[in-house]
Amino acid sequence: MLTKRKLLKLAFKGLQVEREQIEQEISEIRAQLRRGQLGGKAVLPGRKNLLSVAARRAISEGMRAYWARRKKAV
């Protein structure tokens, strides 16, 4: 017959095993989120490319024209 203390020890060991499994699953999910799930490459946290390359180029050309006009006016 199991005593209360032995029963608690067995329950504790079982919970520890469950906890380790859950922590492993959490780390796997975090790794998938860092990889971006689809592309396989790491996603930098907090960084988003909101503009396409073409949009950045258009803005750059517009600013060059703006400063050329300003420089010419002075």
pLDDT at 33: 85
pLDDT at 34: 82
pLDDT at 31: 86
Question: What are the tens digits of pLDDT across the range 5-26?
Answer: 999 999 999 999 999 999 999 9
Each of the 74 residues of the chain gets a pLDDT tens digit; together they read 679 999 999 999 999 999 999 999 999 998 888 877 655 555 556 667 788 889 999 999 999 999 999 999 87
- Give residue 34's identity as a one-letter amino acid code: R
Residues 6+ apart with CB under 8 A from 42: 34, 35, 36
**Distance between CA 61 and CA 54 in Å, rounded?**
11
pLDDT at 43: 54
